[in-house]
Amino acid sequence: MKITWNWLGEYVDLTGLTPEQVAEDLTSAGIPVEKMASMNLGVEGVVVGLIESVTPHPQADRLRVCHIDTGTTKLQIVTGATNVQAGQKVPVALVGAKLPEKHIELANFRGLPSEGMLCSASELGLDDKFLPKDQAEGIWIFPEDAPLGENVVEYLGLNDVVMELELTPNRSDCLSFRGVAYEVAALYSREVHMPDVDASGVATVSDKPLSVRIDTALCTGYSGQVVTHLELGPSPMWMQMRLLAVGMRPINNLVDITNYVMFEWGQPLHAFDYDAIDNREIAVRQAKDREVLRTLDSQDRELTSGVIVISDHKKGLGLAGVMGGECSEVTDNTTTVVIESAMFDPMTTRRTSRLLQLRSEAALRFEKGLDPDAVLPALHRASALMVQYAGGQLLGNPVITGKNLVSPVAKVQILVRVARVAEVLGYAMDIEELEGFCHQLGLPAVREEAGLRVSVPARRPDLLREEDMIEEFARLAGFDRIPSTNLKGALSHGGLSKTQKLRRMTRDYMRNQGFDEVWTYSFVDGEVHRKLNIADDHELAHPMRLLNPLSEDREALRTTMLVPLLEVAKYNASRQWESLFIFELGTVFLPTAPNGDKGMMAPVEKKVLAGVGYGSVAKEPLYAGRNYDFFDIKGLVEGLFERLGIKDKVSFERMAYPYLHAGRSAEMLVGGKPIGKLGQIRKEVARTFDLASEVYYFEVEMEALMEMVSSHLYVAELPRYPHVERDLAVVVNRTLPVANLFSTVKAAAGSLLESVTVFDVYTGEHVGDEEKSAALRLVFRAPDRTLTENEVQIAVDQVLSQLNSNYGAVLRK
């Protein structure tokens, strides 16, 4: 909402105030003034002049010589403009005048002196889009009634300041000068004076110029005034300039008057051609399904029953509150109009204007809800202005119908308890002060035992409850008056939950392992699974999709962390990062029901820890020698499990997965339930992300890990007797997983076995082509004695025999 200082001054006395101060005070009272600018960008010494004659320049085809009367002097001015004619009034910059981008001096054009300059609108620093094309491109031709010799700063009202208000949605009352005037009045304890609207001119007698019937509950009030004998023409210059300043393009006197009154009262008006109304009968009704109405932008609009139309009994005349119909448009031939001032359902108007993508100043005000107390004053005011500035005569009395206009709307009554004000704000105000604020706001208030009973006029629909009034008091008192205090009551125990702590610990672990944390978008391309080699019927290929995405590459909710991480890898790889280690603990969204279902369910949101690594293991090139591989990423995950104390609970099994290398990938399981996967990204998948080297990936579901983590740590007794080690190198089939040997060893060795580890795996000339040798270290210990050689040997023999019978394992020679 834009306002101008002088226009505002018509409704509230601004004496002794400056725009700067009012802007600051409005801002700290919750009506932020976002921008403030002078309308005069530096015009000085420009007056209204009359062109007495125009003659061609004897020496130059393109120049003309104008003889100008400024009322006090006669001047000769040479111009290049082509739209000047004798008898026109134009802005004349005198010698010594200042324009925003020029300084005018006595000039000489091909031998002829030029005592000043004729100006265009843009040379005066004004927006020229409201002017006809020839004037916008040439000299601005003023109306005939422009007063000769007057300073154009005065004539155009340029000594004014435009302020742009950034209104919060609750303060739609300030979408009018009236509302802002009340706000300013409240801040400085002044009175609001709206124009007198009763003396709107004597109506010509007519038995019944118009009848109106409301056929829908979506219209709560409708008033109309017929005005006849109208002469269409431009509106007065001051009105055009004011409309322009608040962002409205001047059109003609009738339209400008409806707009001017809308800004003044906040009540949108519409003027339409009286002669277009069949039988002088208007009906306000809901549209029929598929009813077509041609709006005044010449578009045929197909309507639904959710739209309110103004119609006669044959046709639609306009879309209520949104746009008029072409058939009832005011044209050059119009002499009689109906001014409509009405109240339509805000939500219906909002839906209609959204549906038809017609956003206008009027629709904006309808959407926010109107003040029933402004409907008739606005109608009267517009009627009076049409009489004054368009030669109109009122035909009959206004037609007024609808429940909000016929019977007064009950006022909201709010009881404000003095004690409650202190309870909510934390400091006390006495009842006299509160009464004073009510008076400043123009809200009648009476004392009651508990406090004040406030009657809220319809112009403040945002005031509904006690808290709303408390906010009014607080903002008039200034929020700076609120003290800083400490919460009362018992201390509470703050902290993170177990899961939150473990998540932090996990992220810390990852960073200590040299992984950088990233933070990626949740939205991905809905077809991205194809890049991952995932078939269309795979569960990951059916992400939840947004109904209104901004773009195709951000249309679906990610089902895996892999895509965002590979995108980060791609981004950085293209910036010459030859090795990269990144992770994110992020959310994936797994659908629980197919898309588009009416009873669509919320997805399962899982927190997943995922990482991508490739390149040199060593940070310093000096020590480079080995690239990150499968056992690095496996070790990374194992280290995490160890950190969380759950290493023994997780097993690794080979798996086949669409985007993972078939021989270098594993699934992690707990009690048979998968909790994650890791491995090398298939080369062809890496290539689609422009990644060339061996890229490794892992993902683990955080919740699954957290469930296993114990809250307790109990220390085991320290061993009292020495252990005995035995190393066994056994030859087995090359494909046999070493983990299988471990489980056999553990089962066969009995209770004396403390641990088994592998310290070498050999393939080569000393074993068969299909064989490998695995060197195992077995550690034996008894809690209550030193083991004898014999005891250990018995256990080792059992192990060897079991390994042999399970896997044909033999001791390596």
Partner 1 sequence: MREQLLALQEQALVDLAEAEGNALDAWRVKYLGKKGELSLALRSMSKLSAEERPVVGQVANAVRETLEAAFASKFAEWEAKQAAIQEEKETLDITLPGRTRSVGAEHPLQKIIRRIEDIFIGFGFTVEEGPEVEWDYYNFEALNLPKDHPARDMQDTFYLSEELLMRTHTSPVQARTLEKRRPEWPIRIIVPGRVYRRDDDDATHSHAFTQVEGLVVGKGVRMSDLKGILLTFAKELFGENQEIRLRPSFFPFTEPSAEMDIRCIYCGGDGCSTCKHTGWIEVLGCGMVHPRVLEMGGYDPEEVTGFAFGMGVERIAMLLYKIEDIRQFYQNDLRLLKQFASLPE
**Positive or negative, the Cα torsion across 422, 424, 425, 431?**
negative
- According to CB under 8 A, which one of 105, 154, 191, 423 is a site residue for partner 1? 423
Of 471, 716, 697, 405, the C-alpha closest to 569 is: 697
CB of 15 or CB of 492, closer to partner 1: 492
The 8-class DSSP code of residue 599 comes to T
Site for partner 1 in 761-790 (CB under 8 A): none
Under rule CB under 8 A, residue 479 binds partner 1: yes
Of 253, 256, 258, the C-alpha closest to 391 is: 253
Under rule CB under 8 A, residue 17 binds partner 1: no
Under rule CB under 8 A, residue 548 binds partner 1: yes
- DSSP per residue, 660-726: EEEEEEEEEEETTEEEEEEEEEPHHHHHHTT--S--EEEEEEHHHHHHH--S---PPPPP-S--EEE
Under rule CB under 8 A, residue 266 binds partner 1: no
Residue 364, phi then psi, degrees to nearest 5: -55, -45
Please, what is the Cα angle at 466 between 463 and 472, to 5 degrees?
55
Under rule CB under 8 A, residue 625 binds partner 1: no
Residue with the two structure tokens 């549906």: 355
For residues 757, 763, 767, 768, the Cα torsion angle rounded to the nearest 10 degrees is 120
Contact window for partner 1 (CB under 8 A) among 217-225, 453-461, 575-583, 721-729: 575-583
Under rule CB under 8 A, residue 475 binds partner 1: yes
CB of 217 or CB of 622, closer to partner 1: 622
**Cα separation values, 32 from 18, 168, 348, 481, Å:** 16, 9, 29, 19
**Cα separation values, 177 from 124, 163, 263, Å:** 27, 12, 6
Q: How far apart are CB 274 and partner 1 at their closest, in Å? A: 34
- According to CB under 8 A, which one of 217, 490, 715, 718 is a site residue for partner 1? 490
Q: How far apart are CB 624 and partner 1 at their closest, in Å? A: 11
Number of chain residues interacting with partner 1 (CB under 8 A)? 95
Site for partner 1 in 151-210 (CB under 8 A): 168-172
Rounded to whole angstroms, the Cα distance separating 341 from 374 reads: 9
- DSSP strand pairing (269-273 vs 724-733): unpaired
The residues that bridge with 300 in the sheet, in sequence order, are: 294
- According to CB under 8 A, which one of 426, 719, 750, 783 is a site residue for partner 1? 426
Under rule CB under 8 A, residue 7 binds partner 1: no
Please, what is the Cα angle at 263 between 257 and 269, to 5 degrees?
55
Of 41, 42, 3, the C-alpha closest to 23 is: 3
- According to CB under 8 A, which one of 202, 217, 406, 550 is a site residue for partner 1? 550
CB of 260 or CB of 589, closer to partner 1: 589
- DSSP strand pairing (323-324 vs 316-319): antiparallel
- According to CB under 8 A, which one of 282, 510, 660, 753 is a site residue for partner 1? 510
CB of 123 or CB of 367, closer to partner 1: 367
Q: How far apart are CB 540 and partner 1 at their closest, in Å? A: 17
Under rule CB under 8 A, residue 575 binds partner 1: yes
Q: Where do the DSSP E strands lie in 711-770?
A: 724-733, 753-762
Q: Indicate the angle between helix axes 253-265 and 177-188, nearest 10 degrees.
A: 30
What is the token pair recorded at 410? 């009950």
Contact window for partner 1 (CB under 8 A) among 182-190, 280-288, 434-442, 514-522: 514-522
Binding track over 365-404 against partner 1, x by CB under 8 A: --xx------------------------------------
- According to CB under 8 A, which one of 290, 332, 333, 495 is a site residue for partner 1? 495
Under rule CB under 8 A, residue 513 binds partner 1: yes
Q: How far apart are CB 65 and partner 1 at their closest, in Å? A: 49
CB of 330 or CB of 565, closer to partner 1: 565
**Positive or negative, the Cα torsion across 489, 490, 495, 498?**
negative
Q: How far apart are CB 395 and partner 1 at their closest, in Å? A: 37
Q: How far apart are CB 352 and partner 1 at their closest, in Å? A: 12
Rounded to whole angstroms, the Cα distance separating 162 from 160 reads: 7
Site for partner 1 in 634-673 (CB under 8 A): none
Under rule CB under 8 A, residue 631 binds partner 1: no
Under rule CB under 8 A, residue 21 binds partner 1: no
The residues that bridge with 285 in the sheet, in sequence order, are: 309
CB of 25 or CB of 312, closer to partner 1: 25
The 8-class DSSP code of residue 327 comes to G
Rounded to whole angstroms, the Cα distance separating 657 from 667 reads: 9
Under rule CB under 8 A, residue 406 binds partner 1: no
CB of 285 or CB of 368, closer to partner 1: 368
Site for partner 1 in 101-140 (CB under 8 A): none
Contact window for partner 1 (CB under 8 A) among 7-15, 234-242, 483-491, 635-643: 483-491
- According to CB under 8 A, which one of 133, 290, 493, 673 is a site residue for partner 1? 493
Residue 631, phi then psi, degrees to nearest 5: -75, -20
Q: How far apart are CB 638 and partner 1 at their closest, in Å? A: 16
Under rule CB under 8 A, residue 811 binds partner 1: no
**Cα separation values, 528 from 241, 322, 547, 655, Å:** 55, 43, 18, 22
How many CA atoms within 13 Å lie on the side-chain side of 220?
17
Under rule CB under 8 A, residue 614 binds partner 1: no
CB of 7 or CB of 509, closer to partner 1: 509
The 8-class DSSP code of residue 88 comes to -
Q: How far apart are CB 556 and partner 1 at their closest, in Å? A: 10
Q: Is 110 helix (H, G, I), strand (E, B) or coil?
A: coil
- According to CB under 8 A, which one of 484, 735, 751, 790 is a site residue for partner 1? 484
| Burial (CB count <10 Å: 0-12, 13-18, 19+), residue 624 | middle
Chain centroid to CA 809: 69
Binding track over 315-354 against partner 1, x by CB under 8 A: -------------------------------xx--xx---
- Those residues with Cβ within 8 angstroms of residue 637's Cβ, 6 or more apart along the chain or in another chain: 668, 676, 678, 698, 700
Site for partner 1 in 429-468 (CB under 8 A): 465, 467-468
- According to CB under 8 A, which one of 145, 332, 410, 483 is a site residue for partner 1? 483
Q: How far apart are CB 701 and partner 1 at their closest, in Å? A: 16
Under rule CB under 8 A, residue 98 binds partner 1: no
Under rule CB under 8 A, residue 547 binds partner 1: yes
CB of 101 or CB of 605, closer to partner 1: 605
Q: How far apart are CB 500 and partner 1 at their closest, in Å? A: 6
Contact window for partner 1 (CB under 8 A) among 111-119, 570-578, 683-691, 781-789: 570-578
Contact window for partner 1 (CB under 8 A) among 111-119, 578-586, 771-779, 802-810: 578-586
Under rule CB under 8 A, residue 500 binds partner 1: yes
The length of the chain, given as a count of residues: 813
- According to CB under 8 A, which one of 546, 656, 747, 811 is a site residue for partner 1? 546
- According to CB under 8 A, which one of 208, 249, 504, 766 is a site residue for partner 1? 504
Under rule CB under 8 A, residue 488 binds partner 1: yes
Under rule CB under 8 A, residue 271 binds partner 1: no
Under rule CB under 8 A, residue 557 binds partner 1: yes
Q: Is 64 helix (H, G, I), strand (E, B) or coil?
A: strand
What is the token pair recorded at 701? 């579901």
The 8-class DSSP code of residue 156 comes to T
